[in-house]
Amino acid sequence: MSKTWSIAAHEFARHVFRWRFVLGLLSLPAFVGMMALVIFLLIRSETDRRPVGYVDHSGVLSADPPTGLPVEMIAFDSEGEAAQALEAERIQAYFLIGSAYPESRRVELFSLDDPSETAIDGFEEFLRYKLLTDQPGEVVRRLLEGDQLEVQSSDGGRRLQEGDWLGLFFPILVGFFFMIAVFATTGYLMQAVIEEKENRTMEVIMTSVTPGQFMTGKILGIVGVGGTQLLVWTGFIAVFLLLGSRAFGWFDRLHVSPVYLLQVAAIFLPAFVMIAALMVAIGSTVGEAQEAQQFTGMFTFPAFLPYWFALQLMSNPHGPLAVGLSVFPLTAPVAYTLRAGFAQIPVWQFLLSLLVISGCAVAAIWLAGRTFRLGMLRYGQRLNLREIFGSPRRGA
Amino acid sequence: MNKVWLVLRQEIVSTFTRRSFQLVAFGLPLLSGLGFVIFTLIDRAAPGAFARLTAPPRPPAGQVEGFVDPGGLIRTIPNDLPAGSLREYPDEASARQALSTGEISAYYLIPEEYLETGDVVFVQKDFNPFAILEQGAAIRHVLQFNLLGGDAELTRLVAEPYDLNVTVLHPTSERDEESPLTFFLPYGVMMVYYVLILMSAGFMLSSLNKERENRVLEILMVTVTPRQLLAGKIAGLGLIGLLVNLVWVGTAYALLRVGGATFQLPPAYQLPPSLLAWGVIYFLLGYAVYASLMGAAGALLPNLRETSQATAFIVIPMVVPLFFVSLLIEQPNGALAVLLSLIPFTAPVTMMLRLAIVSVPAWQLALSIGMLASTAALILRAVAGLFRAQLLLTGQKITVRTISRSLFSRD
């Protein structure tokens, strides 16, 4: 057992205590941060804050506009003046309210290019404010501000507030981070197996440890590496959320259910072991790094497949497609995360998913052990299926 | 020249006979064609089968929802709601009881401080965040109606204060803002370019990397000069990339035709025939830039793992236009679009995107192609400088010094 641990510790140390690992660790949060910044700047640059004009022949907008509108509103006496201001680009658009407005409710909007959201929203708020002149102040405020819907499950354990976009996309992000961590680290594992085989280190190691110890140690080590990666990323996210809510009051509405996180973690762990073991199996079956890379496509594709059906999984989380994908071992991690984020999964289905993945993880370890033992000292020759699954020949 | 031709031929033959290449180039279109046929057959045999499998379950009609209103805000239910569709409960416990017995499908909780906070809680048996987008219209209507003292006309007016008619005086594009084609057509053109250039450049990378790893490169160096090798590889793999693109686009076109989907785009969306000519020019130049860079990475870095990391850096400029794709499509002649289509590393994809939307001023096309071509020439020269026998040998340690020495020294 101690040999297994020393292999695990070595595998862990040789990946984690390296600049390359630290760089990889920081690059994803940096990338996500940069994306967020770009999106933020884009939204800001696309918001048109130039004033908006209006010509009112109906007398509805008689008094001055209220304060706090998203854009400044400028009254014009005639359409000609407004059109002139528009052509001179002193205003971004102007609204024309005809004298028949109280009956027809028709309003014309003129702009040089497609009108901006801020112009329309600002004018709508202005009009509403005028329509509510006779109402008490608190009613006006409530009607202009609108209300906040919060969706709750009947036990109160899961809830989401309107406008909490992070909460809505949380399940998608969780699955994504997990898959990136798993495939980045298990990819290293596969490369390591191939490399050690190629440079004959394997032959030396095999003089002192058994194949079983070697492989278990490697898988444990790599699960540790992936775990560290996920832990650091989670830390980054937590710090970001904390800073965001303390400094800017963002994410105050975010509510993440601990039960959901526990369920997802329970599914992720065996899935991670399973993928790691399958990678070892590939690494010891094929001879070349390049060939191995092509084979991993066989796992990456189904693992990310649920994202293609994300909309279906989220809108119909109890449908046959969603249940099927969350039980099939390779699609389960992402599919289950998505499904569970958008519905309460019956306990038996959770247990079924967990059982199937754990079973497959055990089977994958067995397969990895077998291919590893058969293939570890073979060079330039690939293992075939009959050798892997057939009865061991004497002397093999 | 003869040896360049030999390398080119060998590259084409060896790529074509590779199983993984056949799978990508022909298997993928074949598979999508097969999927298309199966999908069409199933859809014909049982219309709507797919939609049923994936569509969200519809809530049964005539559902009753409850509400708890301790503040006594709701005094009357407006007449335009179906009678009995909203039922009041005196407290949350009784509403929860009714929910668990199935008497109601969900209930709303309107806190006493609703006027100050505006909070409304929607409780349902199963947790479904999408309810936020779908629910709430009915209860909002009831709340507004009661806040306005039961004035149905004013409630209607506040909910929809006007019937807006928009006149755009100088539209920049005749394309319909609402049509999905407005976004997806240029986006598709951009993605095809992106995949095409990166895939062909990726061939270059893996081909060199493999030969370096199994030491074939060292044997080749005995008979071919490094530059002949580079020229042959770039030309051969470029031709293959062009062919794969033809196969893909051809399959997509054929499937659309065969599938009975009349492939008739509205006039505003017709792609100009000149796009094809520009397409070939930008592909060849973009490919030359990226394939040379990938070739350098493949030849100099010792193993696949490190090469993959290096390529991630090489590819970054190609990804930049993807970040801004919606802005580029919205303002195809805007400052950002012009800038990105002039910078050689982002030009191939950005210019193709712009050409698919608007007519680009001739001086911009000329400047962009000129800059791209000179960059391609410079990079090709630099990479050819790196392609020296001593650098390509296995075990040779690659340092900044050796690289800079090969780049700046004369032959």
Residue B113, SS3 per DSSP: coil
How does DSSP assign A171-193, residue by residue?
A: HHHHHHHHHHHHHHHHHHHHHHH
Sequence letter at residue B136: G
B100 chain-A contacts, CB cut-off 8 A: 154
Q: Return the CATH class of domain A52-145.
A: alpha beta
Residue percentage of chain A with pLDDT more than 70: 90
Average pLDDT for residues B2-11, to the nearest whole number? Answer: 86
**For helices A165-198 and A332-341, what crossing angle results, to 10°?**
170
- Interface residue B53 vs chain A (CB under 8 A): yes
Q: Lowest-confidence range among A8-22, A366-380, B176-190?
A: B176-190
Residue A77, SS3 per DSSP: coil
Between chains, do B147 and A120 touch, taking CB under 8 Å as contact? no
pLDDT for A377:
65
Q: Which residues, numbered 356 to 395 in chain A, qualify as contacts with chain B under a Cβ-Cβ cut-off of 8 Å? A: none
Model confidence at B263: pLDDT above 50: no
pLDDT for A28:
75
pLDDT for B262:
45
* Token duo for residue B162: 């006007």
Tell me how far apart the alpha carbons of residues A333 and A319 are, in angstroms, rounded to a whole number. Answer: 17
The beta strand positions in chain A, using DSSP E, are: 52-56, 73-75, 93-97, 106-111, 148-153, 159-161
Q: Which long-range contacts does B126-130 make (Cβ < 8 Å, 24+ apart)?
A: B126/A153, B126/A318, B126/A343, B126/A344, B127/A151, B127/A152, B127/A153, B127/A158, B127/A342, B127/A343, B127/A344, B128/A151, B128/A317, B128/A342, B128/A343, B129/A151, B129/A160, B129/A167, B129/A168, B129/A341, B129/A342, B130/A314, B130/A315, B130/A342
Average pLDDT for residues B187-203, to the nearest whole number? Answer: 80
pLDDT band with cut points at 50, 70 and 90 for residue B396 = low
Q: Report the gap between the CA of A214 and the closest CA in chain B (Å).
A: 23
Q: Which residues, numbered 117 to 156 in chain B, qualify as contacts with chain A under a Cβ-Cβ cut-off of 8 Å? A: 117-132, 135-136, 140, 143-144, 147-148, 154
Q: Which residue of A has its CA nearest to B54?
A: A312
pLDDT band with cut points at 50, 70 and 90 for residue B60 = low
Model confidence at B186: pLDDT above 90: no
Question: Is residue A357 packed enough to be buried (19+ CB in 10 Å), middle (13-18) or exposed (0-12)?
Answer: buried
Tell me how far apart the alpha carbons of residues B284 and B196 are, in angstroms, rounded to a whole number. Answer: 11
pLDDT band with cut points at 50, 70 and 90 for residue B392 = low
- Interface residue A26 vs chain B (CB under 8 A): no
Q: pLDDT of A112-162, one tens digit each?
A: 877 888 888 888 888 888 888 888 888 888 888 888 888 888 877 778 887
Model confidence at B394: pLDDT above 70: no
- Sign of CA pseudo-dihedral A168, A171, A176, A178: positive
Helices (H) and strands (E) in chain B, counts: 20, 5
- Residue A74 bridge partners (DSSP): A53
Tell me how far apart the alpha carbons of residues B14 and A277 are, in angstroms, rounded to a whole number. Answer: 33
Residue B347, SS3 per DSSP: helix
Question: Is residue B311 packed enough to be buried (19+ CB in 10 Å), middle (13-18) or exposed (0-12)?
Answer: buried
Tell me how far apart the alpha carbons of residues B394 and B300 are, in angstroms, rounded to a whole number. Answer: 9
Alpha helices in B18-110 (DSSP H): 19-22, 28-45, 49-54, 92-100
Model confidence at A88: pLDDT above 50: yes
The beta strand positions in B69-124, using DSSP E, are: 86-89, 106-109, 119-124
* Best residue of A39, A47, A151 to probe chain B, by most B CBs closer than 10 Å: A151
Between chains, do A342 and B116 touch, taking CB under 8 Å as contact? no
* Token duo for residue A295: 């084979």
CA dist B310 → A355, B302, B360, B403 (Å): 40, 11, 34, 15
At a CB cut-off of 8 Å and minimum separation 6, what does B27 contact? none
- Residue A75 bridge partners (DSSP): A54
Domain boundaries, chain A: 52-145, 165-389
Question: Residue B66: enclosing H or E segment and its boundaries?
Answer: strand B65-68
3-state helix vs strand vs coil in chain A, percent to 5: 65, 5, 25
Pairing between β-strand A159-161 and β-strand A148-153 as defined by DSSP bridges: antiparallel
Sequence letter at residue B161: P
Q: pLDDT of A153-204, one tens digit each?
A: 887 777 888 777 777 778 888 888 888 888 777 777 777 777 777 777 878 8
Q: Which of A196, A195, A181, A217 is nearest to A11 (CA)?
A: A217
Tell me how far apart the alpha carbons of residues B217 and B228 are, in angstroms, rounded to a whole number. Answer: 13
pLDDT for A391:
60
Tell me how far apart the alpha carbons of residues B244 and B287 are, in angstroms, rounded to a whole number. Answer: 14
pTM of the model: 0.65
Q: pLDDT of B204-219, one tens digit each?
A: 877 777 777 777 777 8
Q: Report the gap between the CA of A395 and the closest CA in chain B (Å).
A: 31
Q: Report the gap between the CA of A18 and the closest CA in chain B (Å).
A: 14
Please report the domains of chain B, with CATH numbers, ordered by start residue: 65-159 (3.40.190), 179-408 (no CATH)
Largest Cα separation within chain B, whole Å, is: 95
Are residues B340 and B346 in contact, defined by beta-carbon separation less than 8 angstroms?
A: yes
pLDDT band with cut points at 50, 70 and 90 for residue A214 = confident
ipTM greater than cut 0.95: no
